Amino acid sequence: MALQPLTVAYLGPSGTFSEQATLKHFDSPDVALLPCRSISDVFGQVEDGRADFGVVPVENSLDGSIRVTLDLFLSTDLRVCGEVDLRVCHNIIVRVGTKRDRIEVVLSHPQAFAQCRRYLKRELPNAKMREVSSTAKAVELLKVTENAAAIGTEVAAKKARMVVLATHIEDYANNFTRFFVISSQDAPPSGRDKTSLIFSVKDVPGALFRILESFAVREINLTKVESRPLRGNPWNYVFFLDFEGHRTDKVSREALEEIRERCYFVKVLGSYPRAIL
């Protein structure tokens, strides 16, 4: 009996950075890709068993964390089993034959506009900016929009049979987006792991210091600490933390056991191999 291919849900449509991240992690012909309309839909597809894995953006090196992704981890039992770091390259894409001096409108996602301000101000100062739901959608809309350009990926340009007029138009070359791979289980130890967790501290002096101390005294390196408002509880916060190591390592287990005694709650999101750039 032939094995069923893995199904991987991602934030669509086809031609987005999320699809590129998915293909980078799941580099196999035996994987069926399932584009979704929103990050919450990706979580839902995996929770309901319609997808084996999901790929969701969690953080951009310039713009910070993707809040909806972090918030969804508070209301789901899904685990993080992998991460992907993807270099973000923005391009000006046009119809065949469209010249730069004829461009009257530029289509793209708000985040793409925010990351390409210098180029747009310098090269297309008179063009209007029109926000759409994704960079891939922007490229598709070129088919029905006169004198227009889109900011999108080369993959999207090829699929839509459009032309890349300018490449690497982002303001900062060192622009990466981090993605989480989510599933019902996390990953076994690989020897180069990270662990992500959520916690809430008691409202007493030095509460956060005592949590960080549990890792510092064991020489566990923290790679991310971020606070988020707790929905429905004004002026109360939860913290997202990443550290180097697997949750099953001896020192990691000791640290996690200790902070559970010092927190209102601790939720380990999962351990997974560190991304390779």
The total number of structural domains in the chain stands at: 3
CA-CA-CA-CA dihedral for 153, 154, 159, 161, to nearest 10: 120
The model's pTM is 0.88
The last residue of a domain, from among 150, 183, 216: 183
Contact between 198 and 261 under an 8 Å Cβ cutoff? The reply is no
Q: How far apart are the C-alpha atoms of 46 and 276, rounded to whole Å?
A: 24
Does the annotation mark 179 as catalytic? yes
Does the annotation mark 177 as catalytic? yes
Q: How far apart are the C-alpha atoms of 270 and 167, rounded to whole Å?
A: 37
Are residues 100 and 133 part of one domain?
yes
Residue with structure tokens 């990691």?
A: 252
Residue 58 belongs to what H/E stretch?
Answer: strand 53-60
- Each residue's pLDDT, cut to its tens digit, for the chain (277 residues) gives 445 689 999 998 888 899 999 999 998 788 899 999 999 999 999 999 999 999 999 998 888 888 899 999 988 999 999 999 999 999 999 999 999 999 999 999 998 999 999 999 999 999 999 999 889 999 999 999 999 999 999 989 999 999 999 999 999 988 899 999 999 999 999 999 999 999 998 878 888 999 999 999 999 999 999 998 877 677 678 999 999 999 999 999 999 999 999 898 999 999 999 997 7
For residue 36, is it within any domain?
A: yes
Please tell me which residue in 69, 135, 153, 177 is annotated as part of the active site.
Answer: 177
Contact between 272 and 193 under an 8 Å Cβ cutoff? The reply is yes
Residue 207 belongs to what H/E stretch?
Answer: helix 207-216
Order of strands across the sheet that contains 148-152: 128-131, 105-108, 148-152, 91-94, 163-167
The last residue of a domain, from among 129, 151, 183: 183
Please tell me which residue in 179, 180, 239, 243 is annotated as part of the active site.
Answer: 179
Are residues 111 and 44 part of one domain?
no
Residue 213 belongs to what H/E stretch?
Answer: helix 207-216
Are residues 102 and 84 part of one domain?
no
Contact between 74 and 244 under an 8 Å Cβ cutoff? The reply is no
